[in-house]
Amino acid sequence: MSLVPMSDELAALPEFGVRDYLGIIQRRRVMFAAVFLLVLAVGLLVTVLSKNIYQTEAKLQVLSPARPIGFNGEENPISMMLATVQPQGVDIQGEELQSPEFQSEAMRQAKLSTARHEQRPTIRVEPVEDINILRILVQGGNPVETVRVADAVVDLHLRRMDLVTTAGLRGTIDFVRKEKAKAERVLEAGERRLVLIRQAHRGVELSTERQARSGEYDALQAKLLETETHSNTLRAEIRNLRSEVAMHPANLVQETTRESPVARKLADKLEDVKIQRMELLRSFRPTSREVQDLDGQIALFEQHLAAEPKEITVRTPSPNTERLSLLRQLKEQEATLQGEQENYAALLARVRIQKRTLDELGPWETQLARQTHDRDAAQSAYAAISDRLQELEMRARAPMPSARVIERAAVPTQPIRPNRPRSYGLSVILALLCATGGVFLREFLNDRVSSAEEIETLVALPALAQIPVMEPNHARLVATAFPSSDAAEGYRTLRSSIGFAGIDTPLRRIQITSPSRQEGKSTTAVNLAIAMAQAGKRVILVDTDLRAPSLHRLLGVPAAPGLSEVLLGRNFIDETLQTTEISNLQLVPAGSSLLHPAELLCSIAFDQVLKQLDEFADVFIFDTPPCVPVTDAPIVAAGMDGVILVVRVGHTRKVMVKQAIKLLSYARARILGLVVNQTPAQNQRSYHRRYEGDGFPERALARRRAR
């Protein structure tokens, strides 16, 4: 049995392994099973009671718009009206299908049943990427009704699109007819003015050369106006581009974080120093100068590491690609504007030259040329309107649909949810997770010792013995009253463990203490003393619990004179030794109660008592008060060869165990290990029953008589 030097490291919680976690589940298997079955039952019940949901699907293809019907110029009123009768795109038709008003109308036309136990259908529309197709998905509790709703949605949408297109065509045709009549009147007025000019000046026609000059002049003026408009548009775009360029920085700074090399170096050095400290603890105590020097280095490294940032930010500038793109566009627009300005200047010069040429003509000739140009323009407009009207009338007679059905809804045969096999599997997984989480949460919240294995892992100390739960009719002196019991065997195991621990250095002074009250330290002390006395050793049991003594009552001897009288100088130590009914066992009772026993236990008188007792026995067992509430136990521990800490399953708190070990380590006590009281006795009982007849003949004889 290896004994390690005590240090503050014992208070740290070691890393658990898989077997430790499985041990937690095994200890709390009842809770695990209850939570697992409860969650599983709820999951299965929800799955079974969930209503089936069916889904069907219909597909619509949105047809591409036909060739636009219109006139030159986007602001022409006829062009604006014709644009409204073009087939709508996928996005617009999708929004129409998803509108609440449309879906309510489709539900009414589907004539759904009024059954309350069935979920009403829901409609969802999804466009297919890159192709003009709309998926109409209908989900509901009745598979037949889902198909009826899907068909109603498709039919209602097609009817509405046809009505919109037909109504738009009719309105446009009426408007174009009115525009045609206006154009016809303008053409007739131009013809009349042209005839009047010819009659007034007795001229039939202008010469071909003069007509050409007049037409060229009008064309140049129109082109000059178009160039000026385009130049103004370019100037506005250039202003907008310059504003956008001003809002974008020339460079973008990209920030990236990485681990600080200084922090990494400090962490590596800190880890190296901690490893050196652990190696030193194998040979030195925590209070030695070598270990304390390393502690100082560790504290310094930790201070520097806390002050050093864990991550650093690196800023990397990069060109703003969006600003560069805007600059390229700006240069292109400026170059285009410069070309337009040069073109405008050239056109303006030509217009001036052509105007001087026309000024050489007479006034009536100029007027005739202009009237001829107006008549030709009116004639062209009339012809264009007539052509568009004819095309609209043909489209009205043979309308083109906005969408067509490419797949009708089919009656679904299998529900999409619930997916019962998957739900059953998820219920099992969820039940396992909840049960495991509940067990570990309960383990985390429970701060009391639950097993010997757990406390051994927690404090890195061996469990020298496990004392099972004693039967209610058993006396506390089980080592003599029930020598074949599991508890008595546990105390003999404790005796053997102490013997193994003292092979190199015999242990004569053994202290029994506990973290808090009601953990069985006095019972452990007296039964250990009896077990050692039965092994042939001379044992003196010293009751150093001067606050609440109990050993004299367990062994049936007077309470005084005792240790307190010796420490006060009223009696000698040999006068307080009380002989007990157990061979080789004597007791030094606590004596009279004192107000401040700690002062006497740390006095020179107590040290002298320890030296005087060495002459009377082989082993001395000291029963001391709990070490956390009062300071008596750490004071006594300084003069002991070994300390045994008694804990009780289901009663002792883990934080109290850690605190007790810390207090004893301050006193440089050598803690031999733990005694775990009130452990489950099933395993030990099944083992000992195999050997009752061999080791304990009186119990075997009683069993044969009972048969």
- What's the pTM value of the predicted model, to 2 decimals? 0.47
Express each pLDDT in 56-115 by its tens digit.
999 888 876 554 444 444 445 555 555 555 556 777 788 888 888 888 888 888 887 756
Of residues 69, 101, 135, 172, the one with CA closest to residue 403? 135
- Which residue's entry shows tokens 């004693």? 470
Query: How confident is the model at residue 207, as a pLDDT?
Result: 54
Express each pLDDT in 488-529 by its tens digit.
898 999 999 998 888 888 889 999 999 998 888 999 999 999
Query: How confident is the model at residue 273, as a pLDDT?
Result: 87
Higher pLDDT, 218 or 46: 46
Query: How confident is the model at residue 446, as a pLDDT?
Result: 76
Percent of the chain with pLDDT over 90: 18
Higher pLDDT, 58 or 376: 58
For residue 14, is the peptide bond before it cis, meaning its omega torsion is within 30 degrees of 0?
A: no
- Which residue's entry shows tokens 């581009």? 241
Q: Are 238 and 337 a contacting pair, CB within 8 Å?
A: yes
Mean pLDDT of the chain: 80
Express each pLDDT in 178-203 by its tens digit.
888 888 888 888 788 877 776 776 55
Query: How confident is the model at residue 306, as a pLDDT?
Result: 85
Would you give the DSSP letter of residue 691?
A: G
Torsion sign, CA atoms 694, 698, 704, 707: negative
Q: Are 315 and 253 a contacting pair, CB within 8 Å?
A: yes
Q: How confident is the model at residue 687 (pLDDT cuts 50, 70, 90)?
A: very low
Query: How confident is the model at residue 705, as a pLDDT?
Result: 42
Query: How confident is the model at residue 707, as a pLDDT?
Result: 43
Higher pLDDT, 666 or 443: 666
Q: Can you give the residue ranges of every domain in the chain? A: 8-50+418-445, 251-319, 460-702
Q: Are 248 and 322 a contacting pair, CB within 8 Å?
A: yes
Q: How many whole angstroms separate alpha carbon 64 and alpha carbon 569?
A: 116
Query: Per-residue pLDDT averaged across 424-437, rounded?
Result: 92
Q: How many whole angstroms separate alpha carbon 322 and alpha carbon 327?
A: 9
Query: Per-residue pLDDT averaged across 250-262, rounded?
Result: 79
Q: How many whole angstroms separate alpha carbon 350 and alpha carbon 213?
A: 12
Burial of residue 23 (number of CB atoms within 10 Å: 0-12, 13-18, 19+): middle
Whether pLDDT at 621 is above 90: yes
Query: How confident is the model at residue 699, as a pLDDT?
Result: 43
Q: Are 368 and 203 a contacting pair, CB within 8 Å?
A: yes
Query: How confident is the model at residue 703, as a pLDDT?
Result: 44
* CATH T-level topology, domain 460-702: Rossmann fold (3.40.50)
Query: How confident is the model at residue 324, as a pLDDT?
Result: 87
Q: Are 407 and 58 a contacting pair, CB within 8 Å?
A: yes
Query: How confident is the model at residue 696, as a pLDDT?
Result: 40
